[in-house]
Structure 1
């Protein structure tokens, strides 16, 4: 459960923990950020020194990524997080508060803490970043135990001298976005025996029920009737039939129309081209794109952004059986194009192609698809950076600006004629992959591009690397499912809505 978030002009009198900052000023001179005369007076009375002096004594520094605990004051624990240079950016604040709240929430035996974040937040962008960092840093996936673990943090208060309408809007946005990211993380962390196409579709409907979002779920009969050859082929090997979830948010007066498409492979064994055991363990995360899209739609609607959004989550379980599709099969896709399948472990592009083609029928201004699509993207960009492929420079700029504002890392990859030519087939309109292993992320992007209607702007986000954090937690990113792309998609919708 996402903690509550509030705004205050001063440090609340009774808090379980207070997060302060240490910044570097005047040629690397450290300075404590966020303390108050009242706090200093109480600290001097108890310990004989100011909070700043104690922070220096215990080794608190301005270096980003550092967190130091100070002696408690009347039951209130004080923590100091490194901010780096005093001229902080929203991303620095988001990361720092994430580090601080992870440290606070990670204490042994804590539950239902109230935490004040006092970092001299002076403008709405910094307030929103601090709110997101704090809430996302406090995230813990609830283990599936007979007796649930207690919630570590239940309330975060941001201390700021600014409490005007813009500041309050920033707090509200941070809470909405963080709740959406929490849900995306929870879905991606859920074991695949509990989250499969039907249950995932039901969960999406339940999550959106309180918003002005119309939800339609296409089951296997509707998919067959509609000609969704890619989704049906991928899901054909499992006893759990595929689903396509269509979501529509259409506020009155919206002038821009954004289409979102998410990959929802609830478990990917590789199909008949089965994965090695070591590569199969993390394949519950192969639905991260769909989780991000569904969560983003909820946040966009909850924030009341004035942009029309039509979204599709293509859900299937890719398993080997007597009814599995094969390498070499020719599939007829939703838009009538035929595809020579080259590998049953390249299933994501097939379900995405059907959903992108369907999204194109809604006449959007921009289609953005999100998928844990290729290991090749991870080889190229590592585990923390997603790939971006688009069909136009303006679209690239728009997506990169949204990602920067959201504090998520994407890097643009090229789409060349050479890669497009890798898809030539002698038995169908195209192959689903190239004739060699090189440039796999680019070939996959070129394949998806074939299903984008002519004249429609399109962007592809390959989140194969950052969707799961297999290393230690950092900033506001936990170990496990990260909920990556939710913040970028919400920021993008905000740009299109003129906010």
Structure 2
């Protein structure tokens, strides 16, 4: 996979002369927010009025994310983005991130090539600067189409964040935002790759190169089919057994000196999910190239954590397989022996994610003995039914852990909601022919039952499961800083969690 294409981000007190588009805010309370004096004066000179009055005269709206292009007073085009009906100093970091993304998308829709843009909303706190930078960078994203022609040149090559203060904290905020945005975009690119180009072997190769670009900070281990067989990874082998593309288990290790906390990350990496013998419908299958986004999230987050130099040990697993129907495919009612020896009766071959995750979770908990395990997976349609397409679910065996995950998500600007694993859910997994079965037959509570199944493989290690089946892939139009297709969901939360645990 080529390196993600992102504009270079910088910070300044004034708008550079080379700026093609300047993005500022507009609120019902304060009017235009974030225009430097140099721009305000140019509007007074050209139109004889302040930008606020001009904006209102052409019907500019303070409605959140509404965009308005002002008549030009100079070579720079000004785009106003609605920030809502409250004063600009009360706008949250996530609202700033979304507004910057909406403005960057508006600029990207213009007739530009290699242009420089600037963005500022009159806020200079480091967290606000980071949010604006992240939003603007992510808002410029577009996936490079698979085409015989030369890839189009990026429309935006540089972004300047306008801030009254450009001290060390603000500079660090921009640098951090660049690293995190690059990780999110890496996951988006993996998710958007067609499954004939991204399959277990090629994905593992991509990750090896991606992790290697971090220098010697991250070590990489890849188990192929022979290694999986020797190691007893019966879940991954069963799910991948129906495909001509053999499965892989990828393990990353980041262990900086001085790290006092050990975090394990596990991601579901189903590079295409046909449903196996329990075949999906055509409509249900079309977006299933995205079923590896959990693995993409943990790989990308690990690289970002290493690039940022957090003093935390991270061990990461991506369980990669393609779930296909064939004469060698696994069957409903098969009994599988997972890593460590626990046996599982398969209920449904379209509930494959939990099976590959079982092997990785069992190895992480038994062999690595981390202080905390977080897994990320596009696991269940039931989570989408419960929370919709823009909110992920959090399940945990610890209220304290769930609270830490939710706090990290809030800090990162990603939406998660905690759901329970009720007492009776373990009973749904009782089997007459194996240690447990992979799920229940019929009825509701599918997301909870899947979480209860995963819990069986973490032992006594504190753990949280992030079900991102809804928000990991956006089948609709782009909005704010969220692209259509792969969204990169959970990357920012994992980075924020690692930062908080590293102290």
1:147-186 deviations in Å (ceiling 9; x for gaps):
2122121111101122222111111110000000011001
In 1, the alpha carbon distance for the partners of 2:364 and 2:156 equals 40
Aligned counterparts of 1:482 and 1:417: Cα–Cα separation in 2: 34
Question: 1:54-102 CA deviation, whole Å, 9 max, x = no partner?
Answer: 2222222222121111123433111001112221111110111111111
| Greater than 4 Å deviation, 4+ residue runs | none
Match of 2:120 in 1: 118
Per-residue CA deviation, residues 454-497 of structure 1 (Å, 9 max, x unaligned), is 2x110000000001111221111111110000000000000001
Q: Equivalences for 1:66-465 in 2 at 5 Å?
A: 66-84=66-84, 85-86=86-87, 87-107=90-110, 109-147=111-149, 148-211=151-214, 212-360=217-365, 361-454=367-460, 456-465=461-470
The verdict on how the C-alpha distance between 1:47 and 1:14 changes in structure 2, with shifts beyond 3 A counting, is farther
Q: Which segments of 5 or more consecutive residues in structure 2 lack a partner in the other structure?
A: none
Asked whether the equivalents of residues 143 and 149 of structure 1 are also in contact (C-alpha less than 8 Å), the reply is no
Secondary structure at the counterpart of residue 288 of structure 1: helix
Matched-pair contact (CA < 8 Å) for 1:385–1:409? yes
Q: Is the 8 A contact 2:221 2:251 kept in 1?
A: yes
Specify the alignment match of 2:18 in structure 1: 14
**1:469 aligned residue:** 474
- Partners in 1 of 2:28 and 2:208 — Cα distance? 48
Q: Per the alignment, in what secondary structure is the counterpart of residue 16 of structure 1?
A: strand
More deviation, 289-298/117-126: 117-126
Provide structure 1 residue ranges, at least 5 long, that are not aligned to the other structure.
none
1:42 Cα deviation after fit: 1.9
Preserved CA contact (<8 Å) 2:220 2:253: yes
Shift of 1:220: 0.5
CA distance in 2, matches of 1:190, 1:132: 23
Residues 66, 81 of structure 1: 8 Å contact kept:
yes
Inter-partner Cα distance in structure 2 for 1:299 and 1:495: 14
Partner of 1:328: helix, strand, or coil?
A: coil
Q: Deviations over 1:274-308 (max 9, x none)?
A: 10111000100000000111100010000101111
Alpha-carbon distance in structure 2 between the residues aligned to 1:419 and 1:111: 55
Give the 3-state SS of the residue equivalent to 2:483 in structure 1. coil
Give the distance between the partners of 2:386 and 2:120, measured in 1 at CA: 39
Any conservation in 2 of the 1:15–1:115 contact (CA below 8 Å)?
yes
SS in 2 for 1:155: strand
Instruction: Determine the C-alpha separation between the residues in 2 that align with 1:226 and 1:73.
Output: 68
Query: In the alignment, is the contact (CA less than 8 A) between 1:314 and 1:355 conserved in 2?
Result: yes
Q: CA deviation at 1:45?
A: 2.8
Cα distance between partner residues in 1 of 2:196 and 2:158? 33
- Name the count of aligned residue pairs: 492
CA distance in 1, matches of 2:356, 2:452: 15
SS at match of 2:49: coil
Using the alignment, how far apart are the partners of 2:376 and 2:165 within structure 1?
Answer: 36
Within 1, Cα distance between the matches of 2:294 and 2:203?
Answer: 13
- Contact residue 124 and residue 170 of structure 2 kept, 8 A: no
Instruction: Render the CA deviation track for 1:366-413: whole Å, top value 9, x for unaligned.
Output: 000000000111111110011110001100100000000011011111
What is the rounded CA distance, in whole Å, between the counterparts of 2:342 and 2:93 in structure 1? 45
**What SS is found at the alignment partner of 2:299?**
helix
Cα RMSD after superposing both structures: 1.0
Using the TM superposition, name which of 62-71 and 301-310 deviates more: 62-71
User: For residues 373 and 158 of structure 1, what CA distance do their matches in structure 2 show?
Assistant: 38
Q: Post-superposition shift, 1:43?
A: 2.2
Q: Which moved more, 1:32-41 or 1:238-247?
A: 32-41
Say which is worse superposed, 110-119 or 239-248, in terms of deviation: 110-119
Mapped to 1, the partners of 2:490 and 2:163 lie a distance apart of: 28
- 1: CA distance between counterparts of 2:486 and 2:160? 26
Residues 397-436 of structure 1: per-residue CA shift (max 9 Å, x gap): 0000000001101111101121111000000000001132
Q: Does the aligned pair in 1 maintain the 2:23–2:78 contact within 8 Å? A: yes
Superposed displacement of residue 38, structure 1:
1.7
Aligned 8 A contact 1:65 1:82 in 2 = yes
SS of structure 1 residue aligned to 2:466: strand
**Do the aligned residues in 2 keep the contact of 1:387 with 1:462 (CA within 8 Å)?**
yes
Q: Distance in 2 between matches of 1:443 and 1:368?
A: 17
CA contact (8 A) 1:11 1:118 kept: no
In structure 2, distance between residues paired with 1:319 and 1:210: 32
